[in-house]
Amino acid sequence: MRKQLSLLTILGTGLALSGCALFGGGGSGGTKLDEFRVARNAPLVIPPDYSLTPPRPGTASLTAEGAQTQAVQALFGGPAPRSSSETGLLEKAGADRAALGARSVAGSPDTAVVDKGALTQTILSAPAGDGQTASVQTP
């Protein structure tokens, strides 16, 4: 028992010393950290004066719509110029009569939907397959 304990102690000490040599604790194999090689950061710079003033109490502030309009103008630069053919097509299609936010109300129960019948539903729910072997059973 005493031999095993002393053997484990010798092995543990050897392992600890070899670990120090591998990680730069005095051995030639590892790289040491050099505390004198410190990179300096650039000095802080005071930004230019953008002449921003805090709002005064009692003055009118931007409304949410005004802020949104300013953001869209800043991002996209206003409405894109359209050609005469595109403008004519949009007028014929009724772009000026389109309901704003139509995409958000498309799935609502109040939206009027045209019933295409059971045949259309059967065709749409048909399994995908090769065009040569596809078939649909209609009532």
Mean pLDDT of 110-137: 74
Cα–Cα dist 39/57, whole Å:
47
| CA angle, residues 90, 93, 97, in degrees to nearest 5 | 90
pLDDT-wise least confident of 22-36, 60-74, 75-89? 22-36
Kindly provide the b/e burial profile for residues 65-100, where b requires at least 16 CB atoms within 10 angstroms of the residue's own CB. Answer: eeeeeeeeeeeeeeeeeeeeeeeeeeeeeeeeeeee
Cα–Cα dist 136/121, whole Å:
11
Q: Model confidence at 76, in pLDDT bands (50, 70, 90)?
A: confident
pLDDT at 88: 92
Joined together, the tokens standing for residue 52 give 């921003």
On the question of pLDDT at 24 being above 60, the answer is no
Cα–Cα dist 62/73, whole Å:
15
On the question of pLDDT at 85 being above 90, the answer is yes
Mean pLDDT of 60-74: 74
Mean pLDDT of 107-120: 76
Q: Model confidence at 114, in pLDDT bands (50, 70, 90)?
A: confident
On the question of pLDDT at 91 being above 80, the answer is yes
pTM beyond 0.85: no
